Every structure is written in C-alpha cells, then in structure tokens.
C-alpha cells in the first residue's frame, strides 16, 4: 500500500498554465497520475497536455462529475492562500502547495481551515509526494523516466524538508535494494501543513512501510515534536534521521538563513546539536553521513525482523 495516494487518486493543478506547472502536469501524466483538470482564472476552455482548464475549482469538479481527491497549487505567493481556500471549500482533501515565499500568516490560515474541513496540506515550498510506480503528485523526482530511476517500490517511507534531498535519499534507498513506500517532500518553511509527527500515523498504518527516513535541518521545533510523538506512541517503525546544516551552529551564523526560509537558528532549541540530542533521546538514530542511511536502515530492519 502507500500513504495519502493510490492508483485511483485524482487531482487538479491550480495555476496549470504557468511554465513550471505545464512541465509538472506532463511529468505527472507521464508517470500515470490522474490529472483530471486544471484551473487558471480567465483561461477556461484551454487544454494543457490534454488536461482541460477551468476558471474555478467548482467547474473542474462539475466537469469531473464527482469529488476530486487532490490539488497541486502552483500560483504566485500573493494568490496562494485564496487558491488553497478555494480547493478546500470545493471538497478537495489533499493539497500540495508548491509555491514558496508565502507569508506565515497565510499558511497558518490555510492550515486552520484545512483542519476544520478535514483536509490535509503538504507544503508550502515543497515538491509534493510520490508512491513509486503508482502515482506522483507534484514535481518530485522530475520527469517520469528520472523519477523511475530514483524511486522504486519498497519498504521505506521518506519525509524531507528539502525537495531535492527527498530524491537523493530515495535514490540511495533504491540503489541499495530497499526501495520506497511513499516519499513526501514536506516543505522548507517555518510553518508547514504536515510536519513529520503529523504524517507518522499514516505511515504507522501502512503495511508496506517498515522503516522511516527523515531529512532535517536547523530551525523550528518539528524534530522535537517528532521525538515527542515517538515517545508517546510506541511506534513500530524504526526511524533514521539525517541532519544537514551543522555548520550553522557556529556563532557567526546565528540569525542567518540558509537553504530554506525555515532554516534559521533563532533560539537554543533550533540548533542542529540540540535537535540531534532530542531525536536520539527518543531512540531515533541520527546518522553522521548521508551515505550511511541505507546501511543503517538495513541494520534496523534486521533488528526488527
């Protein structure tokens, strides 16, 4: 099985006529995903790689003739909140927000409405999610043939604050013969729709997933939240973590942002050192080197088998 997506998942692309969105739509279609419509206000009647374009989400839903499962939102930051609210209010329950540089207040508004309506947001500032050989929702992994090279079906769930590193890590798991159950690029901002701890229950319930790999960075407290979740829930899944950006612990890097908007050390809790200590205290193995991940996962799987 998988989490959040399956072979029947239908989704639309909001902002579908933008340059990046056109590529993303083609990539998803080539991968076998069911892109059932697109929305760009004022562009109703056009087609993008055979996908019909509408002015509103409601029109897309009416054309589809029933509820649509998801939406990939890739519109400029000033319009993102409205697009996401439109998706939620039209019954869409899984929303991938690709756009970056959205003010935190807007993200928090979308997430609060999603919570009220039972919808889930992935991102913003993310590449989406992929279930190898089943469905790809977003730019994750790139063109279908590249995605196939990095993502083969398997036993490991991946969650990453970096879109590129989601593919890098998944590729190493694929090369090692472990494969990937579902990989989620969760986004690099300070406030995101779905942090590690919020996705853990899905992986926990997914029989195919036998272990979790997370890629993490300084800034925020979602690692502490994950550590708390693991302690409170007696999870069956071994977790292997990799922490990038240790150099940011240097005194002269304080207050500087690297990589992603959310990657900034503001308080003591935010540093790489502090986060590693918290994860390890919860029994999560934090590897020093990126290339150790597959071996440590194998070791953990051997121990639980």
Partner 1 sequence: MRFYEYEARKIVELAGVPVTKYGFCTSAEEARKVAEEIGGPVVIKSQVLTGGRMKAGGVKFADTPEEAAQHAEEILKLEINGHMPRGVLVDPKAEVKQEYYAGVVWDGTAKKPLMLFSDMGGIDIEEVAEKHPEHVGKGHVSNLLPVSDFEAKQVVAATGVTGSQLNRATPVLARLARLFRENDMTLAEINPLAELTDGSFVALDAHMEMEAEAVGRQKKLLRKELGIAEDDTRETYEPSDFEKNVGAIDAADHRGVIQGKDHGFTGNLGLVIGAGGGSLTLTDAVRNQGGQPANYSEIGGNPSVAKACGLAKEVLEKDGVEKIAVMMSIVSNTRVDIVARGVIKACLELGKDPGETIAIFRIPGAWEDEGFKILEKYGVEYCDRSVSMWEAAGRAVSKIQGAPA
Task: Convert residues 155-174 into a mask of x (bound to partner 1 by CB under 8 A) and - (unbound).
Answer: -----xxxxxx-xx--xx--
Q: Among this protein's residues, is 260 annotated catalytic?
A: yes
CB neighbour class for 93 (10 Å; exposed up to 12, middle 13-18, buried from 19):
middle
Tell me how far, at minimum, the Cβ of 234 lies from partner 1, in Å: 21
CB neighbour class for 209 (10 Å; exposed up to 12, middle 13-18, buried from 19):
buried
Distance separating alpha carbons of residues 23 and 25, to the nearest angstrom? 5
Distance separating alpha carbons of residues 197 and 199, to the nearest angstrom? 6
Question: Of 41, 91, 153, 259, which one interacts with partner 1 (CB under 8 A)?
Answer: 259
C-alpha torsion 197→5→153→238, nearest 10: 20
Instruction: Report how far Cα 292 is from the mean position of its chain's Cα atoms.
Output: 23
| The one catalytic residue among 49, 63, 64, 260 | 260
| Rg, the chain, Cα only | 19
Contacting partner 1 within 207-226 (CB under 8 A): 215, 217, 220-222, 225
Contacting partner 1 within 68-127 (CB under 8 A): 77-78, 101-105, 107-109, 111-113
Q: Which residues pair with 285 in a beta bridge?
A: 240
**What's the token pair of residue 285?**
């193995």
Distance separating alpha carbons of residues 57 and 61, to the nearest angstrom? 6
Q: Which stretch binds partner 1 (CB under 8 A): 36-44, 56-64, 134-142, 203-211?
A: 134-142
**264: which DSSP letter?**
B
Contacting partner 1 within 52-71 (CB under 8 A): none
* Closer residue to partner 1, CB minimum distance, 68 or 260: 260
* Closer residue to partner 1, CB minimum distance, 64 or 149: 149
Tell me how far, at minimum, the Cβ of 54 lies from partner 1, in Å: 26
Q: Which residues form the catalytic set?
A: 260
Residues that bind partner 1 (CB under 8 A): 77-78, 101-105, 107-109, 111-113, 139-143, 146-147, 150, 160-165, 167-168, 171-172, 175, 188, 190-191, 195, 215, 217, 220-222, 225, 242, 244-248, 250, 252-253, 255-256, 258-261, 263, 288-291
């Amino acid at each position: 099985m998988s989490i959040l997506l399956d072979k029947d998942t239908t989704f639309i692309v909001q902002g579908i006529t933008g340059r990046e969105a056109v590529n993303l739509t083609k990539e998803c279609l080539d991968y076998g995903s069911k892109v059932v419509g697109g929305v760009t206000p004022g562009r109703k009647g056009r087609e993008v790689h055979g996908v019909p374009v509408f002015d509103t989400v409601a029109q897309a839903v009416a054309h589809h003739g029933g509820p649509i499962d998801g939406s990939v939102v890739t519109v400029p930051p000033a319009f993102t909140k409205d697009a996401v609210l439109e998706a939620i209010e039209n019954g869409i329950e899984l929303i991938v927000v690709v756009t970056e540089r959205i003010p935190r207040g807007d993200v928090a508004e979308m997430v609060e409405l999603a919570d009220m309506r039972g919808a889930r947001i992935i991102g913003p500032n993310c590449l989406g999610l992929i279930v190898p050989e089943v469905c790809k929702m977003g730019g994750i992994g790139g063109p279908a043939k590249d995605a196939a090279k990095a993502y083969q079906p398997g036993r490991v769930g991946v969650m990453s604050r970096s879109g590129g590193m989601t593919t890098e890590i998944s590729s190493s798991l694929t090369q090692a013969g472990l494969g990937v159950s579902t990989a989620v690029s969760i986004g690099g901002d300070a406030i995101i729709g779905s942090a590690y701890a919020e996705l853990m229950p899905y992986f926990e319930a997914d029989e195919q997933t036998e272990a979790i790999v997370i890629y993490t960075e300084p800034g925020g407290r979602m690692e502490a939240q994950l550590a708390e979740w693991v302690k409170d829930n007696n999870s069956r899944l071994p977790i292997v973590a990799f922490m990038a950006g240790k150099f940011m612990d240097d005194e002269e890097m304080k207050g500087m942002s690297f990589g992603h908007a959310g990657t900034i050390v503001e308080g003591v809790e935010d540093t790489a050192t502090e986060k590693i200590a918290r994860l390890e205290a919860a029994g999560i193995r934090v590897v020093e080197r990126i290339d150790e991940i597959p071996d440590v996962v194998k070791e953990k799987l051997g121990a639980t088998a």
